[in-house]
Amino acid sequence: MYELDQSVTWKKLKQLAEDTRDDRIADYFAQDPERFQKMSVRLGGLFLDYSKNKLSDKVLTTLEQLAEHSPLRQRRAQMFSGDIINVTEKRPVLHIALRNRGPELVVVNGRDVMPDIHASLQKLEAFSNKVRDGEWLGYSGKPIRHIINIGIGGSDLGPNMVCRALHAYKHPNLSFHFVSNVDGQHIKKVLSGLDPETSLFIVSTKTFSTQETLLNANSAKRWFMASTGGTEADIGQHFVAVSTNKDAAMEFGIKQENIFEFWAWVGGRYSLWSSIGLPIALSIGYTLFIELLEGAYEMDRHFMEAPLRQNMPVLMALIGIWNTNFLGAETQAIIPYDQALHQLPSFLQQLDMESNGKSVDSEGKPVNYATGPIIWGQTGSNGQHAFFQLLHQGTRFVPIDFIASLPDDKETEEHQFALLTNMLAQANAFMNGDVIEGKLDYASCPGNRPSNVILLDQLNPRNLGALIALYEHKVFVQGAIWNINSFDQWGVQLGKRLATEISRNIERKSSDYDASTQGLLEIVRQRLTVNATKAEVVTQKTKTSKKQSTD
């Protein structure tokens, strides 16, 4: 039986946290001039500097022992071999198969799934090429100019983030829009600026039953029909689906040949590598989409093969465990010093918190230690003028991941240089602080705040793929060490179920809910009744007006 917090290594780390409580990161540098070289790792176009963490050699060695004594190696091998590691849903976890660019077989239930994945990619290639080349025509014979992705969660956050991050590679004649919020104002605003004859909607929903996505998809369908006066047959030229449920997509009006498949073993937050990445392929082209996969594959091989002490995802995971479980961090800030990566913190929120926001271990027992931290952040240097005050002088202990790409555009080089120097200055200031003559006052910054710095040689598809895979594997490592299932999300399912129940019960009073919920429901019912009455009055006036004009 694996009991993490009862292990000798865990207890040793608790003692080390106490022993090093007054250590300063800056002193570690003074003691070892080669600390930067020792505590940095490069893989392809990614460079990780983790030297500015409150991390001694002894702590790092003990963290490595924690990983060795955990189920990490076993679960990593199981994931890559197609075994069932999502134990509560009895599924393998094979997003790594989606970007497998090598000769490896990936066997599920005795069958290699790679031929299916290759076939899916070929379909993605053919369709994206046709749209990008202007050969896919709408019902009126015009080429597509607007792509609207309708999805939520993993069907939105991944493609949305990547398309924005790689905007520099976008097709010049295509515009991209992402609709996720069930708030009607969201889709109303997007549709108001579109030409229905040149618009293509991608309905992305794994089961084709997600309430928010279907509500938005049906609103888009009604808008299209009302705007064009088209027929059901015209829907087929303007709506495609990414789903495992072909029957439901076809019932919606989507042609069978325009349904892009993926599989139950693809988790939503890990799905951008699958057909869910259709908007990415349409935006940057299939060739660059494959480069995105190749970057992730390079990180996969590194994760599998590199020793733990030189393994980028393992190191980041162990540092996170040290900060969370032994130094008391409750949150983790993600600060990209690159405007193109402004959606990355939101993407990583789902990846990390939906995966490791668990309080029960893989055996169904409550855990006695902290698991996933709260992930948050925004771009620098905007954050410097918003919340960095709290990070520098507040009472919260917040580790930071700084992420940036090196300049590759002569036209904006001056801006990029200013951005990077701001980032380096902040990382330095968080570590060293500013205390004059050893006296703390209102102007003092105590420093000793830990951070990682991740540099991309260039923000291109390959490096972005590697960066995303880095964080995926970091989350996996932490879940394995904490002995939790990082691949289910029963908390999300609870909210969905209750929303469906309340929606069904909206017309009647029910004692099934608490007094607060009942009271709020009554306010909603009253407004719906008023709106229905107003609509009936308008309809009746319209009928009367039409009758009088006819008479």
pLDDT score of 440:
75
Q: 25 Cβ partners below 8 Å, 6+ apart? A: 52, 53, 54, 431, 447, 448, 450
CA distance 259 to 241: 5
pLDDT score of 464:
98
Kindly give the parts of the chain with pLDDT less than 50. Answer: none
pLDDT score of 76:
97
pLDDT score of 532:
63
Cis status of the peptide bond prior to 192, with omega within 30 of 0: no
Quick one: which of 385, 423, 419 has its CA closest to 401? 423
194 residue type, one letter: L
**Are residues 314 and 308 in contact, defined by beta-carbon separation less than 8 angstroms?**
yes
Kindly calculate the radius of gyration of the chain based on its CA atoms and give it in whole angstroms: 26
DSSP structural state of residue 407: -
Give the model confidence (pLDDT) of 298-334 as tens digits. Answer: 999 999 999 999 999 999 999 999 999 999 999 999 9
520 residue type, one letter: L
pLDDT score of 549:
55
Measured CA to CA in angstroms, residue 8 lies from 28, 167, 243 at distances of 26, 49, 47
CA distance 495 to 419: 40
What is the pTM assigned to this prediction? 0.93
The CB-side HSE value for 403 (13 A sphere, CA atoms) comes to 28
List of E strands, 122-198: 146-150, 175-179
CA distance 6 to 382: 43
CA distance 265 to 248: 20
Give the model confidence (pLDDT) of 83-132 as tens digits. Answer: 999 999 999 999 999 999 999 889 888 899 999 999 999 999 999 999 99
Q: Does the annotation mark 385 as catalytic?
A: yes
**Are residues 460 and 45 in contact, defined by beta-carbon separation less than 8 angstroms?**
yes
pLDDT score of 1:
63
Q: Does the annotation mark 54 as catalytic?
A: no
Q: 69 Cβ partners below 8 Å, 6+ apart? A: 7, 9
Candidate list 354, 392, 472, 473, residue with the active-site label: 354
- The count of residues in the chain is 551
CA distance 431 to 425: 10
pLDDT score of 375:
98
DSSP structural state of residue 274: T
Candidate list 385, 410, 439, 547, residue with the active-site label: 385
